[in-house]
Amino acid sequence: MADVYSDIGFAKLDLSRGKRTGLPETIYAAGKTKEQLLEILQTFHQKNINVLATRCSLEQYEFVKKSHLPLRYNETAEILRLGEDKTPKNGVLAVCAAGTADLPVAEEAALTAEFSGVEVKRFYDVGVAGLHRLLSKIDEIRQADVIIAVAGFEGALISVLAGLVKAPLIAVPTSVGYGASFQGLAALLAMLNSCAAGVSVVNIDNGFGAAMAACKILKLKEK
Amino acid sequence: MADVYSDIGFAKLDLSRGKRTGLPETIYAAGKTKEQLLEILQTFHQKNINVLATRCSLEQYEFVKKSHLPLRYNETAEILRLGEDKTPKNGVLAVCAAGTADLPVAEEAALTAEFSGVEVKRFYDVGVAGLHRLLSKIDEIRQADVIIAVAGFEGALISVLAGLVKAPLIAVPTSVGYGASFQGLAALLAMLNSCAAGVSVVNIDNGFGAAMAACKILKLKEK
Amino acid sequence: MADVYSDIGFAKLDLSRGKRTGLPETIYAAGKTKEQLLEILQTFHQKNINVLATRCSLEQYEFVKKSHLPLRYNETAEILRLGEDKTPKNGVLAVCAAGTADLPVAEEAALTAEFSGVEVKRFYDVGVAGLHRLLSKIDEIRQADVIIAVAGFEGALISVLAGLVKAPLIAVPTSVGYGASFQGLAALLAMLNSCAAGVSVVNIDNGFGAAMAACKILKLKEK
Amino acid sequence: MADVYSDIGFAKLDLSRGKRTGLPETIYAAGKTKEQLLEILQTFHQKNINVLATRCSLEQYEFVKKSHLPLRYNETAEILRLGEDKTPKNGVLAVCAAGTADLPVAEEAALTAEFSGVEVKRFYDVGVAGLHRLLSKIDEIRQADVIIAVAGFEGALISVLAGLVKAPLIAVPTSVGYGASFQGLAALLAMLNSCAAGVSVVNIDNGFGAAMAACKILKLKEK
Amino acid sequence: MADVYSDIGFAKLDLSRGKRTGLPETIYAAGKTKEQLLEILQTFHQKNINVLATRCSLEQYEFVKKSHLPLRYNETAEILRLGEDKTPKNGVLAVCAAGTADLPVAEEAALTAEFSGVEVKRFYDVGVAGLHRLLSKIDEIRQADVIIAVAGFEGALISVLAGLVKAPLIAVPTSVGYGASFQGLAALLAMLNSCAAGVSVVNIDNGFGAAMAACKILKLKEK
Amino acid sequence: MADVYSDIGFAKLDLSRGKRTGLPETIYAAGKTKEQLLEILQTFHQKNINVLATRCSLEQYEFVKKSHLPLRYNETAEILRLGEDKTPKNGVLAVCAAGTADLPVAEEAALTAEFSGVEVKRFYDVGVAGLHRLLSKIDEIRQADVIIAVAGFEGALISVLAGLVKAPLIAVPTSVGYGASFQGLAALLAMLNSCAAGVSVVNIDNGFGAAMAACKILKLKEK
Amino acid sequence: MADVYSDIGFAKLDLSRGKRTGLPETIYAAGKTKEQLLEILQTFHQKNINVLATRCSLEQYEFVKKSHLPLRYNETAEILRLGEDKTPKNGVLAVCAAGTADLPVAEEAALTAEFSGVEVKRFYDVGVAGLHRLLSKIDEIRQADVIIAVAGFEGALISVLAGLVKAPLIAVPTSVGYGASFQGLAALLAMLNSCAAGVSVVNIDNGFGAAMAACKILKLKEK
Amino acid sequence: MADVYSDIGFAKLDLSRGKRTGLPETIYAAGKTKEQLLEILQTFHQKNINVLATRCSLEQYEFVKKSHLPLRYNETAEILRLGEDKTPKNGVLAVCAAGTADLPVAEEAALTAEFSGVEVKRFYDVGVAGLHRLLSKIDEIRQADVIIAVAGFEGALISVLAGLVKAPLIAVPTSVGYGASFQGLAALLAMLNSCAAGVSVVNIDNGFGAAMAACKILKLKEK
């Protein structure tokens, strides 16, 4: 079983995920100590496996970067990448965000997809309160193969967008808002109840998960 | 104190509400027995006060109509009216509804406003999943002085509409939906978190309350 | 604007949805009166547009079938179809269900996809309490291009399945369960929090929405 | 489209909102970096557009004030204003607050309205536990054209006030309270369920939104 | 132990509760079969103990009344009494109700208290939307030794009343309301957060519990 | 794989569960049609496997009993048994219930355990409002090897009992209660937060699950 | 109106509360600035009114104590007292607390009551997990005229205690606990659903409110 | 009564818990001051009773360790032990954890059990997203007498594991996750609704409680 996972005591690193699911190896950095994170990165590096770490704090990054592993870090998205992005593949992903405060989540999605070799086009600050901003970009958005739409508050961007495009649309609610947004619950419920058909939803602030779903979808173009 | 309310034992009928708040006398019929409803209607009729009863079931109506009071009943909206609608006043109210299933609530709003003497224009089935339906009507909607927007599911109509008009907009979430709509909670939260400024919200399915708020607003035109 | 929607008073039938979103015309039958449903069906029929009605009660069906429109009805899934299913297209959809009580939702998904011309393979009663049932079918499931996984209770099927396949996976929580399932909330939250990457989720009991999302995804194979 | 919005990369500044909705340009400062806020302010300033920023922290203000833009800041309400308040218009707004701890939200409402050129009268600490405080001011309050009522805890001020006045009343629940106030949920639900007709509600702590709604209403006086 | 409870198989009837807690014997009839209810009543009757059954449905009553036990039944309050009310004691209880729809709960409180020998004064339909109704009765209410205040919707009656009286006030939220009242949750939270000091609260619709608490309080007058 | 499950189309009957988990075969009857239930029972009967069906309605039972399978039905607990109870094993289970209304859930637990060959002692109506009822039985309860404690309302029985006994205690919250019991949520939360150590909890009304857990525990005596 | 309240701009100090409600003047210090708190204290002091401030942080206290007003501060309970406690009155209050972590709330109750002139007996750490601790004190507790019972976690102390005593019992849920205690929600719901009759409940952590209710009750002894 | 508890003013130390419940003495350190904790430890030490303190912060530990009591501290699990672990007993406990971030809770369970003399085997990072990790360890896990399974996110580990083993399984949801995990609520609900029979659940993050339950179960082997 030595080739399917690597047991380092506190963790069993899944080395066959790529083969089973077609997705890159990833680490959920939150809740891990700096030392644990470093040990995991080193293990993957020794096995020549590129890996993406999400929810990696600046503090964690500053500790592991001393290791001289080939790391890149994005502070907005809290994403750490070990190794090069994959060779570009077929297909284009549009990442749309309703407001400026949604950028960390949108960038988490965009950077994750790029790490997997997906071409990403960004459309930011296209929320529906100023509908003309979205409409002026709609022809470009329609050219994407898959769309990720990121929004906080009431998430109305998703329903409007889904009624205007043919591509699959993955909705990401964000915790942006206050009061009765209840840390993203309002946006989550709104997206799950979207009157526009064909929308599917991931967890609040889960730009990473949306990108993973988009990558799986884009593989259909390759077949 | 005899002229401010009428004590009929199980209820104290407020006879000065019109004078204090500028709104018509109204009865919340749900939870009252048929006999109680009839006695209340008769008391108001004897005092020559027109009154509106909301949430009046067909069964309640069929009981009280035997009384030969001058009643009109609308089954969709469950609204019972005693006496004539008021003389039309200044101003126009637009009632917009996202889907066909929202009509009972939209009609509750429209009929309540008409009973108070407000001119109402109805714009039904203009939900944003098919944005062109709303946009084709937007010039007409813009001519209204106040707008009531009624929607279930994720209630995105409100945010789009509020970004396109100058008039005050009162949002009414409805319990239309299923699963994670949680009987209108999703729409309610979405509307409270609308990214479009100047929206205020009433209780789930409360078309009556929205109409009351609209009537109060329209009085500003009269001053 | 006459060619983009048809205004029949209580509703504005969206005639360009297929062109805009690539999805079939559909009606949400719940909350509409029998007469409204019939009028909508007749309007679509006159325009030679096939249409699918979801959440159509047996009572509604028995009323509209007297019209001699070319209708088919499935009582388990509460789905009504006007017109023929589309010509089969590329790609295969696997619909997996955890338990027998999830069949109505799974069939809603399967029948909706078939109406759109998608080939569907059904894998029912493969919940993880008896893991061997799922594992004995996993090779067949892996051959699908898209997977819809339907489960109530704690919805663990989704996480196990997503860790074993490459295809995009759309999760549908059902309201099957009792007590602290809170009408599907437990399954919904579990699916949104799946530790397996690449899962996206639709509303509770929304087999229809999952099928719409799957159809959009499968169009990528056609390009 | 250059004259409807200004694209500065991370944001698309809506330059036509005033024309479309009649409301001033505004920025939601929370969640924006200091640098983003400054760039937005400078862009508006170059286009000679006055703008209001809400939820602007002291730290953000101290950064942007170094720019020598014509800024004013109110620390209690966390409001930043670029440019002069508008010329006073017709109509008077009363802002009522139940307790001293509600002042930040009440001031957010009052300052926003004044920025739009609305005359504001403040009635603070008029909660119903000491009813005589409210009753002693009720005649003054009745002279306003619109009323904003701000309250935390159980928000009973709204129901009492709404039963005593003719003007439209916009209720703002605050997160003031503890325990089962659940950060303003108790007040929010209470206000949505007010037994007094004609009340509409905005999000928890959303003094800004209430002022925007009030400004839209007061425009009816101008027509 | 034979004198502290009576074991009848499916139940252990507590015969010493009166001695321990000073309260009358009571039965919660909901969830018991008709036969179980009858057997319990007969057991108490044989031991010469008067007993009160709450939430007793009309159907249950019609079954047990055939037994010729000395029973009285109130259909509004769903209260069944076996034996005579106790001899009147010192002290007066005021039961106030906000609206007509709250009467079943208010009567449950009033009848329970009367069964315990407490003198009750009823003040119904005194909700704060028409404040003059409450103020016209306030002097009479102030003469009571304990007050029970019953209200649904937002329950604002409690806060206003508590600010005007010296007597202990027990608040009973009712499930009267709709939408975001969430079956009485709104009223419950409002009452728990009342800004008026000295209010304590019982469960939603629990008129019985409020009366029990009031009876315990009134015993202080006897000492 | 033919010997691990039996595929009957709409279901895959798990034939190896007993071997894997040591528990009897069981069916969750709710949500299955009468015909499905019958077919499942007949399949198990043909394979000589005894099986227990929970949440089996009287209507379902009356349909399947026509089959002349060796069935026993308990209407209170809604439990259907196919085949004989197992030969008694070592160990004793105490099933305690707080009130009479909790009997259906308590009996579901007791009958399930007896079907598995466990000796059950019942202690009903021992809620803590009359503590002497519980204390008079505590010595008998202490003799059990495992305890299941069933309670609705606030579920305080569990904490008191757990502080008095050495045996493992499994808590079952029931949906008995009203208002803020929120269909058993209050009891569930109370039990999860019990201050007495060593309590574990199952789903609301899940007497079956508690019995399954107890059976697994009692097997330790056999080793 | 000068003698009923004192208007100091940001607040209207209620000077007639004692006369209306029989309770001492009190200030809710949380959410007030240090300067506001000082000004309020000075105003009351100038009018010779003793006053109690709750939720007064150590930081607030250290600011106001420089004023040389006659202040006493209790850090555990965060209570600040201006002026002497009242002359002792008739009656005894028992304050019971389940665990050591509940002491801040219990002390808030005890100190508030003492400030009003009530004699208080403290019974701490009497939670039901070790029932003998409570039973060894029950005779002393029974001698109190009113009981306040404070508990976090599942709050079972209240139900056990209420079944053993004749005095009125006011329950205070605390936010002590973790996980599914949801900051005191579990204890709050448990207490509202107590199977023991005659319990009333105040807000989470509201020792002050419980003391106010107890003071009102104890006044019945004086009549 | 001196030998059943020790009264130290702010606490009543339960000295007979071991005798009554068979569990070790334990202290819930959170919410106690450093001085209180020290006094409790010293009291137990003087009575020669070993004791375990959970949720003991590093700060608390650093204070009490100056006392030279025989203490051991584990920072990950925040567990403090006074005195030696008990002599090993019969039986083996498996502690399984889904991910690395669940280790603090898993270690709380493991260390608590070891303190009670239970032999513990740890199986960490065996979550179902990589099913092969769990399956490669399943034969070892099956040899345990009791299993504790710890998981955050959607907690699917529990259902899969429970379907594969005969031993009793106690599930511990953790607060690991984000967004719609709602601090462990998602995992808690999932576990309570597990489709695999025989699972019982403890509070979120309550590794201690799971260990206590496991210890009680393992005593059955000793009889």
Model pLDDT for residues E130-141, shown as the tens digit of each residue = 889 999 999 999
The tokens of E148 are what?
A: 């029970």
* The pLDDT value given to residue A175: 96
Give the residue-averaged pLDDT of C73-78.
95
F21 vs H162: CB contact, 8 Å cut-off? yes
3-state helix, strand, coil in chain C (%, to 5): 40, 20, 35
Alpha helices in chain E (DSSP H): 17-21, 34-46, 58-64, 103-115, 131-135, 138-142, 156-162, 185-192, 207-222
H11 inside 8 A of chain G by CB: yes
B186 vs A190: CB contact, 8 Å cut-off? yes
pLDDT in tens, F60-88: 999 999 998 999 999 999 999 999 888 77
**Whether residue C121 is found in the same domain as residue C31:** no
Strand F25-28, strand H25-28: pairing = unpaired
F125 vs E11: CB contact, 8 Å cut-off? yes
pLDDT in tens, F133-190: 999 999 999 999 999 999 999 999 999 999 999 999 999 999 999 999 999 999 999 9
In SS3 terms, chain H reads as CCCCEEECCCCEEECCHHHHHCCCEEEECCCCCHHHHHHHHHHHHHCCCCEEEECCCHHHHHHHHHHCCCEEEECCCCEEEECCCCCCCCCEEEEEECCHHHHHHHHHHHHHHHHCCCEEEEEECCCHHHHHHHHCCHHHHHCCCEEEEEECCCCHHHHHHHCCCCCCEEEEECCCCCHHHHHHHHHHHHHHCCCCCCEEECCCCCHHHHHHHHHHHHHHHHC
H190 vs C99: CB contact, 8 Å cut-off? no
Domain that holds residue A29: 5-82
* The pLDDT value given to residue C1: 39
pLDDT tier at A80, thresholds 50, 70, 90: very high
Task: Indicate the SS3 state at residue D57.
Answer: coil
F200 contact residues in G (CB cutoff 8 A): none
**Whether residue G212 is found in the same domain as residue G103:** yes
Tell me the CA distances in angstroms from C53 to C8, C110, G184, one per residue in order. 18, 14, 46
pLDDT in tens, B80-123: 999 988 877 789 999 999 999 999 999 999 999 999 999 999 99
**Whether residue G99 is found in the same domain as residue G204:** yes
DSSP E183: G
pLDDT tier at A3, thresholds 50, 70, 90: low
pLDDT in tens, G121-133: 999 999 998 889 9
- Arithmetic mean of pLDDT over chain H: 93
Give the residue-averaged pLDDT of A68-92.
91
DSSP A178: -
pLDDT in tens, H125-166: 999 988 899 999 999 999 999 999 999 999 999 999 999 999
Domain boundary among C49, C82, C115: C82
- Structural domain includes residue F65: yes
C162 inside 8 A of chain H by CB: yes
Tell me the CA distances in angstroms from E223 to E218, G90, G166, one per residue in order. 10, 11, 12
- Which helix (DSSP H) or strand (DSSP E) does residue C71 occupy? strand C71-74
CATH number of domain containing F186: 3.40.50.1970
- Structural domain includes residue C87: no
CATH number of domain containing B65: 3.30.110
Domain boundary among F58, F82, F106: F82
pLDDT tier at B46, thresholds 50, 70, 90: very high
pLDDT in tens, D154-210: 999 999 999 999 999 999 999 999 999 999 999 999 999 998 888 999 999 999 999
Q: What is the signed CA dihedral for C127, C132, C137, C143, rounded to 10 degrees?
A: 90
Task: Indicate the SS3 state at residue B214.
Answer: helix
The tokens of E163 are what?
A: 């600010």
* The pLDDT value given to residue G195: 86
**Whether residue A56 is found in the same domain as residue A74:** yes
Neighbours of C199 (CB within 10 A): 29
**Whether residue B115 is found in the same domain as residue B62:** no
* The pLDDT value given to residue E223: 64
Give the residue-averaged pLDDT of C33-61.
95
CB–CB of E194/G28 below 8 Å?
A: no
Q: Which of A9-18, B78-87, F96-105, F170-179 has the lowest mean pLDDT?
A: A9-18
| pLDDT > 70 fraction of chain B, expressed in percent and rounded | 98
- pLDDT higher than threshold 50 for residue H223: yes
- pLDDT higher than threshold 70 for residue F56: yes
With an 8 Å CB cutoff and a minimum of 3 pairs, decide whether chains F and B touch: no
- pLDDT higher than threshold 60 for residue G120: yes
- Arithmetic mean of pLDDT over chain B: 93
- Structural domain includes residue B87: no
pLDDT in tens, C183-204: 999 999 999 999 888 899 999 9
- pLDDT higher than threshold 90 for residue E89: no
Rg (Cα) of chain D, in Å, rounded? 18
**Whether residue B129 is found in the same domain as residue B217:** yes
Q: Which of B183-187, E196-200, H140-144 has the lowest mean pLDDT?
A: E196-200
Total domain count for chain A? 2
Picking from D192, D221, D223, the nearest residue to B203 by CB comes out as D192
A28 vs H99: CB contact, 8 Å cut-off? yes
Q: Which residue has the tokens 């996984």?
A: C149
* The pLDDT value given to residue G3: 60
Task: Indicate the SS3 state at residue B40.
Answer: helix
What pairs with residue G46 in β-bridges? none
Task: Indicate the SS3 state at residue G142.
Answer: helix
Picking from E179, E182, E195, the nearest residue to D154 by CB comes out as E195
- Arithmetic mean of pLDDT over chain C: 92
DSSP B207: H
pLDDT tier at A130, thresholds 50, 70, 90: confident
**Whether residue B121 is found in the same domain as residue B195:** yes
H193 vs C181: CB contact, 8 Å cut-off? yes
- pLDDT higher than threshold 70 for residue H77: yes
**Whether residue C70 is found in the same domain as residue C97:** no
- pLDDT higher than threshold 90 for residue G23: no
**Whether residue H53 is found in the same domain as residue H127:** no
- Arithmetic mean of pLDDT over chain G: 93
pLDDT tier at B223, thresholds 50, 70, 90: low
pLDDT tier at H3, thresholds 50, 70, 90: low
* The pLDDT value given to residue A22: 84
More confident residue, H20 or G144: G144
* The pLDDT value given to residue D223: 64
Give the residue-averaged pLDDT of B165-194.
96
- For residue C149, which phi and psi values (nearest 5 degrees)? -120, 125
Which of B62-77 are b and which e, b meaning 16 or more Cβ less than 10 Å from the residue's Cβ?
eebeeeeeebebbeeb
- Structural domain includes residue E69: yes
* The pLDDT value given to residue B1: 40
- pLDDT higher than threshold 80 for residue A177: yes
pLDDT tier at G2, thresholds 50, 70, 90: very low
Angle (CA) A172 A173 A177, round 5° = 150
| pLDDT > 90 fraction of chain A, expressed in percent and rounded | 79
- Arithmetic mean of pLDDT over chain F: 93
Q: Which residues touch D35 (CB under 8 Å, ≥6 apart)?
A: none
**Whether residue G109 is found in the same domain as residue G209:** yes
Q: Which residues touch B25 (CB under 8 Å, ≥6 apart)?
A: B13, B14, B15, B17, B18, B44, B49, B50, B51, B52
* The pLDDT value given to residue H138: 96
- Structural domain includes residue A87: no
The tokens of H74 are what?
A: 């584990």
* The pLDDT value given to residue D166: 93
**Whether residue A104 is found in the same domain as residue A182:** yes
pLDDT tier at A86, thresholds 50, 70, 90: confident
Residue of G171, H16, G152, G204 lying closest to F159 (CA atoms): G152
B130 vs C16: CB contact, 8 Å cut-off? yes
Give the residue-averaged pLDDT of G154-167.
94
D33 inside 8 A of chain E by CB: no
Q: Which residue has the tokens 């299993």?
A: H147
With an 8 Å CB cutoff and a minimum of 3 pairs, decide whether chains B and E touch: yes
CB–CB of F188/H193 below 8 Å?
A: no
* The pLDDT value given to residue B19: 84
E98 contact residues in D (CB cutoff 8 A): 195
B165 vs D208: CB contact, 8 Å cut-off? no
B28 contact residues in E (CB cutoff 8 A): 99, 101
* The pLDDT value given to residue C223: 63
E20 vs G212: CB contact, 8 Å cut-off? no
- Would you give per-residue pLDDT tens digits along chain D (223 residues)? 346 788 888 888 888 888 888 888 899 999 899 999 999 999 999 999 999 999 999 999 999 999 989 999 999 999 999 998 887 778 999 999 999 999 999 999 999 999 999 999 999 999 998 889 999 999 999 999 999 999 999 999 999 999 999 999 999 999 999 999 999 999 999 999 998 888 999 999 999 999 999 999 999 987 6
Nearest CA in chain E to D157: E156
Mutation for F interface: G154, G161, G178, G188, most F CBs within 10 A = G154
* The pLDDT value given to residue G1: 40
With an 8 Å CB cutoff and a minimum of 3 pairs, decide whether chains A and B touch: yes
* The pLDDT value given to residue E168: 97
- Structural domain includes residue G87: no
Q: Which residue has the tokens 């304990």?
A: E146
- Structural domain includes residue F87: no
* The pLDDT value given to residue A118: 95
Strand A169-173, strand A146-151: pairing = parallel
Domain boundary among G27, G52, G82: G82
Task: Indicate the SS3 state at residue A120.
Answer: strand
* The pLDDT value given to residue D88: 77
DSSP F196: S
More confident residue, G5 or A143: A143
Residue of H153, H158, H161 lying closest to H191 (CA atoms): H158
- pLDDT higher than threshold 90 for residue F90: no
* The pLDDT value given to residue F2: 42
Picking from D159, D186, D197, the nearest residue to E156 by CB comes out as D159
- pLDDT higher than threshold 80 for residue G53: yes
Strand B71-74, strand B79-82: pairing = antiparallel
- Structural domain includes residue D87: no
B169 inside 8 A of chain A by CB: no
* The pLDDT value given to residue D1: 39
**Whether residue H131 is found in the same domain as residue H25:** no
Q: Which strand ranges, in their side-by-side order, compose the sheet holding B199-201?
A: B119-124, B92-97, B146-151, B169-173, B199-201, D199-201, D169-173, D146-151, D92-97, D119-124
The rounded distance, in Å, linking the Cα atoms of D159 and H111 is: 56
Residue of A114, A13, A12, A122 lying closest to A72 (CA atoms): A114
pLDDT in tens, E71-88: 999 999 999 999 988 877
Q: What's the distance, CA B4 to chain centroid?
A: 25
- pLDDT higher than threshold 60 for residue H1: no
* The pLDDT value given to residue F197: 84
